[in-house]
Amino acid sequence: MAKPPRTRRSRERTVAGRHHEGSDDFVRRTLGRRAVREERWDGEVTVQLLPHHLAAGELSTIAVGQELQVAPAIYAAGYLPALSETETWKVDEFGCFDGRGSLLTAPLESDLCSCRVDVLDVDGRLFPVNWAAAEPGEGRLWIEGALYLEPELAAGTEHGEAVALCRRRYRVREIRRYRRTTHRPADAMRLDAVPEPAEVTDDAIYVADLRLVDDVSPPSLAGEEVVDRRPGR
């Protein structure tokens, strides 16, 4: 997500890097369906809860009925230049995402690096972007991939404070576990809370339905700015 990439802390890269975390968790092509829901219609969005974050206990406090202030991020499986002027986004019940918008950058306030976090602005709706295995893009883009919760973007973290304007308040409406198949997830099971770390398996897909509580973005932090790097700006 940030550029240039910083030193990796572990074999599995976090949102700041460009290392592939396992596209099987995200790539819509393996699921065999298009995204079908837009948040602007009903205030609800589905996000993926990644097994390696669950196994590490990094999302352990998520439970049905809980309120969260989070910035759902895009794990980019691919992108193209956005030829249409229309800005729109969709996400389906498995967290698979596509959207067209303009790429902005949010600088990190750090003495250790001059990194920036990319943010997709879709008609005022802001999504941090994890480029994963893709090369970072610029300008107006159509991006597909998956929407997920990234612990590195939590409030109080370096990257989280850089994207404070992306956070909104949600209530967890439902948590589901699907069995992974070769075509699309199957055998949905509703959960009251995320599984214990020892119960997490890579053979499952975990998602949460989040209901928007309010439509007001948090105020900008002192000294924080979002830089528009679209061509000609």
The answer to whether residue 229 is domain-embedded is: no
Per-residue pLDDT of 71-109, as tens digits, reads: 999 999 999 999 888 999 999 999 999 999 999 987 776
The answer to whether residue 14 is domain-embedded is: no
162 neighbors 223 (Cβ within 8 angstroms) = no
The answer to whether residue 224 is domain-embedded is: no
DSSP 40: H
The answer to whether residue 26 is domain-embedded is: yes
β-pair type (168-179, 186-191): antiparallel
pLDDT of residue 31: 37
Q: How many domains does the chain have?
A: 1
Print the domain residue range for 201.
2-9+19-217
CB atoms within 10 A of CB 25: 19
The answer to whether residue 226 is domain-embedded is: no
The answer to whether residue 100 is domain-embedded is: yes
Least confident of 51-65, 104-118, 127-141: 104-118
| Distance from C-alpha of 96 to C-alpha of 184, rounded to nearest angstrom | 11
pTM of the predicted protein model: 0.74
The answer to whether residue 117 is domain-embedded is: yes
Would the pLDDT of 13 be above 90?
no
Per-residue pLDDT of 21-54, as tens digits, reads: 344 443 333 333 444 444 444 689 999 999 999 9
| Distance from C-alpha of 48 to C-alpha of 208, rounded to nearest angstrom | 6
The answer to whether residue 84 is domain-embedded is: yes
CB atoms within 10 A of CB 206: 25
